[in-house]
Structure 1
């Protein structure tokens, strides 16, 4: 579904991506791990066209993302759960969930958009009484659920999850991980998650890729991760200070 071919991206003197090669199979859940500043978020932004690679190619469902075409239709294929939920404070919850359904290529009548929003809220475990509240009235875990409902509101083919459990306690993190896994399987969507949380990796992933120094250091099924034999991956997943990854950088 998504293929990176020798993708490079430099910001000033900082070479973030240095020949990224990665394939994400259709209908699977890929989790990208790696230290802060290794280019995980930049890779996702390159897919969406928010950042333009300096060189290399990115393909989505066989189509080169640099080939132009209807941008609204292209973006309509994606859903995104942002780090920190990133809800609009001035909009009630249902309008946050239905944001894409109230404008642009996916625009629906207001009553229909609200109905869809309430159904997506129900899918993430929130009742209809939440629909007319504002984000500030919700706990962090509830806000994250609203963000997840928004990500799936338009039934996207591909969903990106950016640090989905950041700031949540272990129990709520487990709830969100379970919801993500259930929804991705239920929708048959292709999922790409970036996270530092190894419990999320084990709960969400079919496959794992480790990004280090701008390249994929290791990739494979999550079941093979612990026995990879790669010293970089081993140090990262076990959180060891000693190893080939310099913790001070």
Structure 2
């Protein structure tokens, strides 16, 4: 579904991506791990066209992203943002149905409301939540609203940017289970970036470690603990000593 070939991206003298190669099969859940500043978010932004790569190719569904209709291309995606990114001035249902109230996916207002309520139900929120505002919700509820928005237009590709950031361990586990259930239920292709190894183990089919601008290791999550790769081993076990230099 998604293929990156020899992807490079620099910001001035800072070479972030140095030749990223990655394939995400249709219907699989790929989790990208790596230290802060290694280019995980830049990789997602390049796929979405928010940041143009300096060189390399990106194909989605076998088509070069630079040669596809922009609106039709973005309509295939859903995204759960790290900070929730909910609109404070809009009630919850309008946040969830944001894409259905405007643009190429626009639906009648009452229909958009019905879909939003159904998606809220799917993530475990009651119908009365639809009329509330984000500030009236807990952090875990806001994350669920963000997830409902990500799936509202039934995308075939979903991106998750640090989905459990700011949540306590119990709520993080709930969100991980929801993500896994929904991705499998929808048959969607998923890409997640995270530092949370419990999330990796809960939602990944395959794992790719991004380090020093390249994919250091990639494989099934079941092989992660016995990879034999010193970089991956140091990262997943949180060791200060190893080939990855720590800032002290």
TM category, shorter:
over 0.9
Alignment of 1:22-37 (within 5 A): 22-37=22-37
Does the alignment pair 1:207 with 2:209? no
- Structure 1 stretches of 4+ with a deviation exceeding 6 A read none
Aligned to 1:50: 50
Q: 1:180: how far off? A: 0.1
Q: 1:70: how far off? A: 1.7
Say which SS state the counterpart of residue 178 (structure 1) adopts. helix
May I ask how many residue pairs the two structures share in their alignment?
Answer: 248
**How far apart are the structure 2 equivalents of 1:121 and 1:135?**
13
Does the alignment pair 1:12 with 2:36? no
Q: Deviations over 1:183-214 (max 9, x none)?
A: 00000000000000000000000000000000
**How far apart are the structure 2 equivalents of 1:118 and 1:87?**
16
Aligned to 1:79: 78
Q: RMSD value over aligned CA atoms?
A: 0.7
**How far apart are the structure 1 equivalents of 2:182 and 2:194?**
18
Say which SS state the counterpart of residue 200 (structure 1) adopts. helix
Say which SS state the counterpart of residue 84 (structure 1) adopts. coil
What residue ranges of structure 2 are gaps of 5+ in the alignment?
Answer: none
Q: TM-score, normalised by structure 1?
A: 0.99
Q: 1:224: how far off? A: 0.1
Aligned to 1:153: 152
Q: TM-score, normalised by structure 2?
A: 0.99
Q: Deviations over 1:162-183 (max 9, x none)?
A: 0000000000000000000000
Q: Deviations over 1:110-138 (max 9, x none)?
A: 00000000000000000000000000000
Say which SS state the counterpart of residue 126 (structure 1) adopts. coil
Say which SS state the counterpart of residue 226 (structure 2) adopts. coil
Alignment of 1:1-249 (within 5 A): 1-67=1-67, 69-248=68-247
